[in-house]
Amino acid sequence: MRYLHTMVRVSDVEASLAFFCGGLGLEEIRRVDDEKGRYTLIYLAAPEDAAAARTNAAPMVELTYNWDKEDYSGGRNFGHLAFAVDNIYEICSKLSSQGVTINRPPRDGHMAFVRTPDNISIELLQRGSPLPPAEPWKSMKNVGSW
C-alpha cells in the first residue's frame, strides 16, 4: 500500500492557489480539466516532495473545483493537513501579511494552525527542534477554532 494524495474541495481556485502555493509554498504538479464531469483537479506537492510527486504521482494534495456552484461546509470535520516547515515564524509572518488569520499562533516555536479560504484547517510544524519563543507570537492568543 502507498499513500497517494488528500483531496480537498475548493470554491475559489485563485484564492486556494494563493494560499497553498503563494502562502505555504506548495508547487502545482498537474492540472486536469474535465468538461464532461464539469470539474478541475489541481495536484500540489511540497517542494521537497515535488520530484517524487512528478515521478510517482504521490504524495500530493488534490484540490477539486466543481464548476457548478456548491456550498461546502464541515471543513472542521475533515480534520487537518499538516506540513513540516523550515521556519514557522517566517511562514506565519508571510501568511499573516497575505491576510490569513493565524488561529493558533506558534507561541512555542513548534506548532501553528491556519485555515484555507474554504476553512480547511492546516497544521504547521517546525522541522527539527522548536524555535525559541519570540514576539509577537509568544504573546498572541488563539483566534477562532483550529
92 contacts 103 by C-beta, under 8 angstroms? no
pLDDT in tens, the chain (146 residues): 678 899 898 999 999 999 999 999 999 999 999 999 999 999 999 999 999 999 999 999 999 999 998 777 766 556 689 899 999 999 999 999 999 999 999 999 999 999 999 888 899 999 999 999 999 999 999 998 87
pTM of structure: 0.80
The CATH number given to 5-66 is 3.10.180.10
Residues spanned by CATH 3.10.180.10 within the chain?
A: 5-66, 75-136
The pLDDT value given to residue 71: 77
The pLDDT value given to residue 74: 65
The pLDDT value given to residue 146: 77
d(CA 99, CA 110): 22
The pLDDT value given to residue 78: 67
Surface-to-core class of residue 10, CB atoms within 10 Å of its CB (0-12 exposed, 13-18 middle, 19+ buried): buried
Which class does domain 75-136 fall in?
A: alpha beta
Active site residue ranges: 123
